[in-house]
Amino acid sequence: MTPHPGTRPATASELDEVDEAARRRVHRRTLTVVVISQVFGGAGLAAGVTVGALLAQQMLGTDSLAGLPAALFTLGSALAAYLVGRFSQRWGRRIGLGLGFTAGGFGAFGVVAAAVTGSVPLLFGALLVYGAGTATNLQARYAGTDLALPAQRGKAISVAMVSTTLGAVAGPNLVEPLGSMAAGWGIPALAGPFLLAGVAYTAAGAALVALLRPDPLLLARRLEAAAAQHSSTPGEGGGVPKPGTGAYVGATVMALTQIAMVAIMTMTPVHMRAHHHGLGQVGLVIGVHIGAMYLPSLVTGILVDRIGRTPMAIASGITLLAAGITAALAPGDCLGLLIVALALLGLGWNFGLIAGTALVVDATVPHNRPRVQGTIDVLIALSGAGGGTASGMVMAATGYPSMALTGGILSLLLIPVLVWARRDPA
């Protein structure tokens, strides 16, 4: 075919400029859509965190199984993390994340139905499905990194996470009005926040499916393939490359911080109710905790990019230990110290999650990233499920202070892992 007069084939450098401009444009749009979905997603995840244990305590009539809801929806999030990762690997972030949030919405409505009918089996099943929203909310942070440059990945993760703050902090502080509204409709008050979760998760899924175009992961793969074609380096064979050591280190950091955070967070509302704190005070403590989990993200992301992944991961372990000690020493009727403890708990988790996520992204490429990320998030979810289950048993056997201190000490295990990784970076 004869080229049009006055035209010439584009040079490799001109194609690179076009690709880079497209990458920047789609990256900005992706972050905007992720922010919208995360605002809704934050409101959805806050319901289970705030009243899940209290609802189980009410329906089961025992404190020893109060950690079961956290274990169930975290276990459900493990299965969802695997599926969302596989769907994203095959069809892109838009489909994978959209389906995950929608499933979480159906699970939340199922919890409401279980509370109305008093059905414990339905409650357990609905909590498993509700966990899909938690998994998807976490995996959405990866969408912001698909088109980010290596030196900007921490910041990209933080933008996705900080946008969760609005819904996540508002949710716990709406516990009392949502409970009153639910009671007016003949629904148990503790199920009220799950009504909000159902609407919020469904809205997050709809926003992603409708707006996340073009898909950032699929575009990243096309750009990577184009760069490989322009490269003068001969191919090194087919197949999808294996993740580097950093992926395993990042997974370990996130798993340990998840165990410590879920264990202490899950039992704090039960501990507070045993010392006659009202639902408003419980909501305040959990709201501050969730705010500390997400609000510092922009600063944390910058620190992860500038100071490094390893120093921030070590800071995570130290901060979580401080949270466990503070919670253990706080008198049961002292609201102020409980707020400080849960704020430190959220901050330590924030440090660990962003540093660990950046390590995983650094060690993967677009062609293996969703599959690896989904598998790692399964490990994180199972770690949280174990922490949630064990926390109720430990608290019933030894009390809240011992449980909180154990969680804080456990987080320090990430430090030898990081030291080993620095000595053996292969």
Query: Which pLDDT belongs to residue 424?
Result: 56
Q: Can you tell me the distance from the alpha carbon of 391 to that of 247, in angstroms, rounded to the nearest whole number?
A: 28
What range does the domain containing 332 cover? 21-228+241-423
Q: Which of 124, 120, 95, 126 is nearest to 108 (CA)?
A: 126
How far is the C-alpha of 336 from the C-alpha of 272, rounded, in Å? 12
* Domain count within the chain: 1
Residue 351 lies in a domain: yes
Q: Locate all alpha helices (DSSP H) within 92-185, ordered by sequence.
A: 93-117, 120-143, 153-162, 165-173, 175-184
User: Which residues in the chain land under pLDDT 70?
Assistant: 1-19, 47-50, 62-67, 70, 168-173, 175, 230-242, 423-426
Q: Is residue 11 part of a domain?
A: no
Query: The domain that contains 333 carries what CATH number?
Result: 1.20.1250.20
Judge whether 42 lies within some domain: yes
Please answer whether residues 26 and 147 qualify as being in contact, where contact means their C-beta atoms are separated by less than 8 angstroms. yes
Hunting for tokens 């409970």 — which residue is that?
179
User: Cis before residue 214, ω within 30 degrees of 0?
Assistant: yes
In a domain, 9, yes or no: no
pTM of the model: 0.77
Residue 357 belongs to a domain: yes
User: Dihedral of CA 151/156/162/168: which sign?
Assistant: negative
Cβ atoms < 10 Å from Cβ of 283: 23
d(CA 297, CA 316): 13
* Residue 16, domain member (yes or no): no
Contact criterion met (CB below 8 Å) for 195 and 48: no
Q: Is residue 235 part of a domain?
A: no
Residue type, 240: V
pLDDT at site 63: 65
pLDDT, tens digit, for every residue of 176-185?
787 788 888 8
The pLDDT of residue 414 is 85
Tell me whether residue 4 is in a domain.
no
- The confidence score (pLDDT) of residue 382 equals 84
Express each pLDDT in 55-114 by its tens digit.
877 887 766 666 677 678 778 888 998 999 999 999 999 999 999 999 999 999 999 999
Question: Can you state the angle between helices 12-60 and 279-294, rounded to 10 degrees?
Answer: 160
Among 168, 354, 369, residue whose Cα is nearest residue 254: 354
Q: Is 348 left (phi over 0), alpha (psi -120 to 50) or beta?
A: alpha
In contact, 275 and 401? CB cutoff 8 Å: no
pLDDT at 426: 45
